[in-house]
Amino acid sequence: MIAIVDCLAVGDVGTRMATLDVVGVGPRAIAGILERFNVPYELKLCHELLERVGLLSDYEALLISAMSSDLRSVLKLIRKYRRIRKDGLIIVGGPIFVNDEELIRGGADVVVRNEGELTLSELISQGLLEGRRDFLDCVKGITYRKGDEIIRNSARGFLSRHVLNRFKHSVNVVKCYKNFWALRIYVEVVRGCSNFFRPKPGLVNCIECHRCSSGPLSQRTECPVGIPPGCGYCGVPALFGPARSRDPYLVLSEIEGLVKLGVRRVVLSAPDFLDYGRDLLVEPEPLTNPREPPPNLDYIRKLLDLIIGLDEVRRGEVVISIENIKPNLVNEEVAELLGEYLSGTAVHIGLETGDEEHHVAVGRPSHVNEVLNAIKLLRKYGLRPYVYLIHGLPGQNERTIKNTLAVIDRLAKLGVEKITLYRFTPLKGTAFEKYPKPPPAIEDKLSKALYEKVREFNIRVKESMVGKVMEVIGVSRKGGYVVTYPIKHGPVVLVRGSSRLIGKLIKVKITEVLSDRELKGEVISYRTLMRI
C-alpha cells in the first residue's frame, strides 16, 4: 500500500497549530494522479504517522506533500520511516522541493521539483512504484539519489494551461480527513501568479533595467541579474510559474463531486482569484504582468454562474468563497461582480506593510492607497475583507512601522474584519532568501508595537460581534462545549450543547469574546446538514 502524507503547514512541530479547517490542493492532486493509474493508496496526516510510528510498516512507499517551512517535520518522518522500511520508497513534492538536497541527504529517494503532474505521471508509468530506477536519469524535473551521489536533472518547463486541464484532482480522498464536511476544501482555479515584478534597489541588487515591469511579457520571466520574480518574501511565481486558469467545467465537475460527498465549504484557490481568465487575454504570451490587462470579468462570471447554479449552493447549504486577490485589480465593476455571487464571505488582501515606499520596495504590484480602495469597494458590495501584514520584513524600520500602525487605524474605519500578522521567513528560491529570520514579534521593539496593535484590532472586531447572529457548523466536543466553524469563515465559536449538534448547521448568537481567535455563543436553532 502507498501512503499520501499531508505534511502541509505542520511547521517544526509535526502538526498544524493554525488553519486546522483547511484541506489544501496538493494531496488531492497527487491522489488524482494515483487514481488515474489505478494505484491504491491511503491518505495520512503527518502527525498521525509521527505519533503512531508502527503504522509506517504498512506502506511500501510514502508520497509526501509539504512546504519548505515543514522541512524539519518531514525529515523527522523520513528518519522514522527509514528505521522501519529501509528499502521503502519516499517521494517528496510541493514547495518543499527547494530543499531538495537536504531531503535527499535526509533519506528521500526522489524530490519532484516545481509542478508535479507530468513528472509524477512519468515516474509511475515507468515503474518507479514497482522498484524500477534505471530510467530516472531521463526524467526532467527531479532530484534523486544514485548511490552516494545527488543527481539534479534538468528542469521541466511550466505546464501550459491546456496540459494542466488534463489532470483531475481527487474528490474521494477528502473522506480521509476527519470531519471533512465541515472543513474548507480548496479547489484550484489558478496555478501560479502574474506578479513578475521584483523588489527594488536597496533590498536586492536590482540594476533598474525595468525589464520585469515594462518589457515584453515573455521576457519578464528572466532577470539579467538573477533576481527571482514576485514579492521578495513569496516563491509562487518562481516555483510555479505565471498564472494559468483551470477550465471552468473542470472546476465545476470537481465541486459537484465534493458536494455530493457532503462538503459544505469550498474555497476557490488561487494566489490571486482575479488572475482567473486574464491569461486567456494575453495568450500565447505568459501572464507576467500583475496590473494589465484588467480582470476577465466574462470568464469569472462564467465560472461563478456554473458554480452558483448547483442546487446545494443556491439553497445556501454549500458556501463558495475565494482565497486571495490583488488589490490593484479591484475596481467598482470587479467588486460589484464579486458581491453579486460571494456576498457575506471573506476575502484576503495582502497589505504586508502600510508604508508606501516599503510596500513597493518589497515587490508588491500594488500601492497602499489601492489596498484601501479595494477594501472600501469590497465592503460596499457585501464582502468581508481580511488583511495580511508581515513583521520583520527586510527594510522594516521606525518609519515603516509608524506608517503601518497609522494604516491599521484606517483599516478599522473601513470595516476590515481581521488582520493576520505573519513573521517574515526567508524562503529558498525567493529574492529575500539570504536575509536572516527576524525574532518573534514580542522580542523586537518595532515588531512588538505592530503585534500589540493587531491583537488589539482583532479583539475589538470580535467585541463588535457580540449580539450578532451567525451560522456555524458543529464539528467536535471540547469539554462541555461544541466547537463550531462559521460556514462563511470566521473565528471558532464555542457553544453549550451535546454531540447531537455535530454535523448540524446551527444559528448562534454571539455572547462573549474568549480570545482574538475564539468566540462563545448560544444556540438559537439548528438543522441537519450532515448525518454522522
Q: Which of 251, 305, 246 is nearest to 276 (CA)?
A: 246
> In the predicted model, what is the mean pLDDT of residues 78-99?
96
pLDDT tens column, 283-309: 999 999 999 999 999 999 999 999 999
Q: Give 532's pLDDT tier (boundaries 50, 70, 90).
A: low
Task: Give the dihedral sign, CA 26/32/34/36.
Answer: negative
pLDDT at residue 528 tops 90: no
pLDDT of residue 109 exceeding 80, the answer is: yes
Q: Where are the domains of the chain?
A: 2-158, 179-463, 466-528
> Which CATH architecture does the domain made up of 179-463 adopt?
Alpha-Beta Horseshoe (3.80)
- Higher pLDDT, residue 479 or 365: 365
- List C-alpha distances in Å: 180 to 174, 217, 528: 6, 41, 16
Q: What is the rounded CA–CA span in Å between residue 9 and residue 422?
A: 13
What is the CATH number assigned to the segment(s) 2-158?
A: 3.40.50.280
pTM attached to this predicted model:
0.95
pLDDT score at 435 = 98
Main-chain phi, psi angles of 520, to 5 degrees: -120, 140
What is the C-alpha to C-alpha distance for residues 149 and 431, in angstroms, rounded to an integer? 29
Q: Which of 520, 532, 524, 421 is nearest to 478 (CA)?
A: 520
Q: How confident is the model at residue 530 (pLDDT cuts 50, 70, 90)?
A: low
Average pLDDT of span 465-474: 96
Does residue 531 carry a pLDDT above 90? no
| Residues 117, 167 contacting (CB under 8 angstroms) | yes
Can you tell me the mean pLDDT for 136-156? 95
Say if CB 125 and CB 37 are below 8 A apart: yes
Region 333-341 average pLDDT: 98
Distance CA 231, CA 362 (A): 6
Average pLDDT value over all residues in the chain: 96
Pick the CATH number of 466-528 from 2.40.50.140, 1.10.3720.10, 3.30.360.10, 2.30.30.280: 2.40.50.140
Q: What would the mean pLDDT of 256-282 be, rounded to a whole number?
A: 98
Q: Is 238 exposed, middle or buried (CB count within 10 Å of its CB: 0-12, 13-18, 19+)?
A: buried
Residue 481 has what pLDDT? 94
Mean pLDDT, residues 422-449: 97
Q: How far from 29 is each of 171, 299, 402, CA to CA, in Å?
A: 9, 24, 43
Indicate left, alpha or beta for 316 from its phi (over 0: left) and psi (-120 to 50: alpha).
left
Q: Residue 469: which pLDDT band, with cuts at 50, 70 and 90?
A: very high
Under DSSP, is residue 413 helix (H, G, I), strand (E, B) or coil? helix
Helix (H) or strand (E) holding 266: strand 265-269
**CA distances (Å), origin 285, targets 210, 278, 281, 338, 464:** 18, 11, 9, 27, 48
The answer, yes or no, to whether residue 480 has pLDDT greater than 70, is yes
pLDDT-derived band at 529, boundaries 50, 70, 90: confident
pLDDT at residue 125 tops 90:
yes
Summarize pLDDT for 505-521 with one digit per residue, the tens. Answer: 999 999 999 998 899 99
CA 363 to chain centre: 19
Grid coordinates representing 431? 529574492
